[in-house]
A and B are shown apart, each in its own frame.
Chain A
Amino acid sequence: GAVVSQHPSRVICKSGTSVKIECRSLDFQATTMFWYRQFPKQSLMLMATSNEGSKATYEQGVEKDKFLINHASLTLSTLTVTSAHPEDSSFYICSARGQVLEQYFGPGTRLTVT
């Protein structure tokens, strides 16, 4: 099956700093990548969709200036949480899709802002 990696798996940062999370498709070309956020004991909420070489599309209520997404190549998308605050602490998960409709998910990044 297709493999998606995320890095880092866990990060702790101080309030006001920025954090970058990488999402890579390891064995296929991802024309579209997605970023989700998950709070404890809750479901996944889609934050944004990114297509290679174009601007990301953000879901309603997601601040695009706080959550910067770059899909620089067919195998890499990055999410940067700018000026992080404690309320940004969450589990961030990316997914990727190639030529077929099935999506594959990365292992997630647990962000803690102190």
Chain B
Amino acid sequence: GIQVEQSPPDLILQEGANSTLRCNFSDSVNNLQWFHQNPWGQLINLFYIPSGTKQNGRLSATTVATERYSLLYISSSQTTDSGVYFCAVERYNQGGKLIFGQGTELSVKP
């Protein structure tokens, strides 16, 4: 099956710092999503980005499908950005099944 690898596994930042999270995947995909799981367990949709670049406030994401990776940028981090960030991909003709990476646990210190 497809492999999804996220790096780094853990990240500690001072408030105000910038960061880049990476997601590598081993096969072609027709769906890639980034999520933030908050301390209560809720998965919040950040980006639906099978290819290209998107921005939403302090967050932006880029997926280079031909090279099988995606990047999530967080600028001017805030303590509320803390939590686990997941990348998930869907292969073609898999009925919508999302395969999740192991996540990046981000801790933003005041």
Which A residues are within 8 Å of any B CB, using their own CB? 1, 32, 34, 38, 42-46, 49, 57, 91, 93, 95, 97, 101-105, 107-108, 110
Contacts and interface: CB of A to CB of B under 8 A. Distances in A.
Interface of B: 30-31, 33, 35, 40-43, 45, 48, 50, 86, 88, 90, 95-103
A101 to B, nearest CB: 5
Give me the 3 closest cross-chain CB pairs, A-B, nearest first.
Answer: A105-B43, A102-B48, A108-B41
- Interface majority SS (helix, strand, loop, mixed), chain A: strand
Contact of A49 (B88, B96, B99): B96
Contacts of B90: 101
B35 A97 contact: no
A101 B35 contact: no
B51 to A, nearest CB: 12
A74 to B, nearest CB: 15
